[in-house]
Amino acid sequence: MAETAEVHSALGDVAARQLANATKTAPTMLSISPRWLVHLLPWVGVEAGIYRVNKVKDETRILTACSQMEDERELPDTFVDYDEHAREYFLSSVTTVVDVHTRVSDLYSYPHDQIKQQLRLAIETIKERQESELLHNRDYGILANVPSGQRIKTFDGPPTPDDLDELITMVWKEPAFFLAHPKAIASFGREATRRGVPPATVNLFGSPVITWRGIPIVPCNKLKIEGNKSQIMLMRTGEARQGVVGLYQPSASGEEGLGLSVKFMGISRKAIASYLISLYCSAAILTDDAIAVLDGVQIDKYHDYKHAYRK
């Protein structure tokens, strides 16, 4: 027998939705991260695009004297010499061009402006690339410029409290923060908890992060994982502390942020509007002891715990 169609006694959902407006979110992107390194680095404006790091030459030649009562010895003559070949850092750029058809931006920009959303997501992508370049760029990347004497290996694979204590001895002058991949942080948390010293937690820009010896351990997914190994960094920051600083171009035309500019390039004969997005940045390590790196951090070691009660 043929089935009879169900007769509705009221307006159905499908038909009712034809008169309803769906609330739409702005487009999201999985690759967007907090970019803690960019937030925590002090940034120095470089107007001419060049940053020269001057250093004191042969500090042992600087003579001093400590005099006591009725001491008439001659005071030493001295002077401070400078390195004649100071290193210069040049700003590099992360750039892209965003194309938007004017027909699309004219017709489909409510409730979310198409041009603004296209630029926003492109800028987020550029800023993610910026953080990666700050770490890995062959010229100015922080990891690429760590002195060999400031690199150590873990004692036994996983990162232990002893390993991080060793890093602190190498950057003991006002250390600012550790930087590690989230999996490396989890590995350290397991090792610290196993030893009965679970790390304390603090709030950083509204987000909880664990600490060691009062120093935040900041997550960064730009630190690479090769096989089952990663790295943990500890750094001192700021010019006044002779630490690590970020460099940017101030007062650029079309400025939208630190070193970031957005410029309208015009409309082609195909009615496509183009926008140039540029971000100028670099980084500098002012003294060798401003940073130390723990290499060979094993991230995949877990522990079994006995669940027996005491008799």
**CA torsion, points 243, 246, 247, 248, in degrees to nearest 10?**
-150
pLDDT value at residue 64:
77
Write b or e for each residue in 193-206: b if 16 or more Cβ atoms lie within 10 A of its Cβ, otherwise e.
eeeeeebeeeebee
Residue 209 has pLDDT above 80, yes or no: yes
pLDDT in tens, 140-152: 999 999 999 999 9
Is pLDDT above 70 for 186? yes
Give the percent of the chain with pLDDT over 70.
98
pLDDT higher than threshold 70 for residue 2? no
pLDDT at 230: 97
Q: For CA atoms 28, 31, 36, 39, give the dihedral sign.
A: negative
285, 244 Cβ separation under 8 angstroms:
yes
Residue 232 banded pLDDT, cuts 50, 70, 90:
very high
Residue 157 in this model has a pLDDT that exceeds 90: yes
Q: pLDDT at residue 30 above 80?
A: yes
* CA proximity to 57, closest of 78, 38, 83: 83
Q: Residue 208: pLDDT above 70?
A: yes
Beta strands at 229-235 and 291-298: parallel, antiparallel or unpaired: antiparallel
Is the pLDDT higher at 170 or at 6?
A: 170
pLDDT beyond 60 at 123: yes
**281: pLDDT strictly greater than 70:** yes
Structure tokens at 233: 């960094």
Q: What is the pLDDT of residue 7?
A: 77
Contact 186, 152 (CB under 8 A): no
The stretch 156-170 carries a mean pLDDT of 96
For the segment 270-285, the average pLDDT, to the nearest whole number, is 97
For the beta carbon of residue 154, count every other beta carbon within 10 angstroms: 19
Q: How confident is the model at residue 272 (pLDDT cuts 50, 70, 90)?
A: very high
- The mean-pLDDT minimum among 189-193, 217-221, 276-280, 303-307 falls in 303-307
Question: What is the band of 183 on the pLDDT scale with cuts at 50, 70, 90?
Answer: very high
Of the listed ranges 59-73, 182-196, 202-216, the least confidently predicted one is: 59-73
Could you report the per-residue pLDDT of 36-82, keeping only the tens digit for each?
A: 999 999 999 998 899 999 988 877 777 777 777 767 777 788 888 88
Letter for the amino acid at 117? Answer: Q
d(CA 141, CA 136): 5
User: Average of pLDDT values for 249-259?
Assistant: 89
Q: Residue 3: its pLDDT value, please?
A: 64
